[in-house]
Amino acid sequence: MRGTVLYGPGDIRFEDREDPKIIDPTDAIIRMAATCVCGSDLWPYRGLQPLNGPTPMGHEYCGFVEEVGSAVTSIKPGQFVVGSFATSDNTCAHCRYGYQSSCAQREFISRAQAPYLRVPLADGTLVPSPGGAPSADLLPSLLTTSDVLGTGWYAADAANVKPGVTVVVVGDGAVGLMGVLSARQMGAERIIAMSRHESRQKIALDFGATDIITERGDEGVARIKDLTKGVGADSVLECVGTQESMMQAIHSTRPGGFVSFVGVPHGVELNGQQLFFSHVHLHGGPAPVRRYLPHLMGLVLNGEIMPGKVFDLTLPLDQVAEGYRAMDERRAIKTLLQP
């Protein structure tokens, strides 16, 4: 088969690779129905994260089970499945606490921008669609549950979003937009999206944002304070991963409020004393998507949410390089790839 490999900054190739095979008896092989490019793929694409030689790419996936290893019991060939970007046995202590992305046996998926994918720990990682093969129009939304929606949902959950609260979402990338949608689902009263791009503002409003703020940094914080009678927000979702966005998030939160951070931080250092006097709760990390998958797949299959709207570019898989370019140049929010 051919698959996606990053050779260096800006150098994405779709090239011959070996077909994935069952290696461990707990593996499954799936045939991709749809995959996509993640905002986090852009860090190494932009040269902001070191590479160890040519690197197969992709960690968001859904598709049909082709084959399973001898120890796989609940996942069956032919099922339509979605899995998390982090594999999990779903039985260790960390998994039982709901932190499957810190599973004792965790591996990070990294070869999903391809027509076939080996998924380790299939029983604990994959969730079958209860109704069998979904209709084609649901595919994009189901694909989002594999990472970007699960991560946005975790951002809202980790920031303690509850009915009635005031939420701020820092970052208008796909994860931030999913954070808006998730906060709306969780009953937030007010959802303030920080965005200066018209196309993203539109999706944010469509997903349930009540206010848009275009200011950033200290000015952005001042606007949030204005909008909250000087108090600050209850829940702030940091969906970027830079020092500036993190400080913007912390300073926008009221004392006793909650800050989540769900994008891998790059160059972020937090001063202990500043954090102390901010009085915020802070929680983040790689989203435990597996915890949320059954619920989120259900919301999609029942037609309650349409997170697939976040894909504003769809390309054949072999044009994956253009998919990266479009996102890098901010011509696209998120690129869906069809095998």
**Residues engaged in binding a second copy (CB under 8 A):** 93-94, 97-99, 101-102, 104, 229-231, 241, 243, 246, 254-256, 261, 264-273, 275-286
Tokens read off for 48: 């902001």
Segments of 24-79 assigned E as strands: 28-36, 55-56, 61-68
Kind and range of the H or E element at 174? helix 174-185
Rounded to whole angstroms, how far apart are CA atoms 305 and 38?
20
The secondary structure of residue 233, as a DSSP letter, is E
Beta carbon of residue 229, minimum distance to a second copy (angstroms, whole number):
7
113/252 with CB nearer a second copy: 252
Which candidate, 85, 203, 106, places its Cα nearest to that of 154?
85
- Cα separations (Å) of 98 from 287, 292, 314? 10, 9, 33
249/315 with CB nearer a second copy: 249
94/216 with CB nearer a second copy: 94
Write phi, then psi, for 207 (nearest 5 degrees): -85, -5
Beta carbon of residue 329, minimum distance to a second copy (angstroms, whole number):
27
Contact 230, 255 (CB under 8 A): no
Beta carbon of residue 222, minimum distance to a second copy (angstroms, whole number):
16
140/263 with CB nearer a second copy: 263
Beta carbon of residue 152, minimum distance to a second copy (angstroms, whole number):
16
Rounded to whole angstroms, how far apart are CA atoms 66 and 243?
43
Beta carbon of residue 65, minimum distance to a second copy (angstroms, whole number):
29
143/259 with CB nearer a second copy: 259
Beta carbon of residue 108, minimum distance to a second copy (angstroms, whole number):
11
Beta carbon of residue 171, minimum distance to a second copy (angstroms, whole number):
15
The secondary structure of residue 304, as a DSSP letter, is S
SS3 72: coil
Rounded to whole angstroms, how far apart are CA atoms 278 and 270?
12
Helices (H), 46-112: 93-96
Amino acid code (one letter) for 216: R
Beta carbon of residue 287, minimum distance to a second copy (angstroms, whole number):
10
Contact 197, 219 (CB under 8 A): no
212/289 with CB nearer a second copy: 289
Rounded to whole angstroms, how far apart are CA atoms 25 and 18?
19
Beta carbon of residue 278, minimum distance to a second copy (angstroms, whole number):
7
279/330 with CB nearer a second copy: 279
78/255 with CB nearer a second copy: 255
Tokens read off for 268: 């972020």
23/264 with CB nearer a second copy: 264
Q: Determine the straight-line distance between the first and last CA of the chain, rounded to whole angstroms.
A: 11
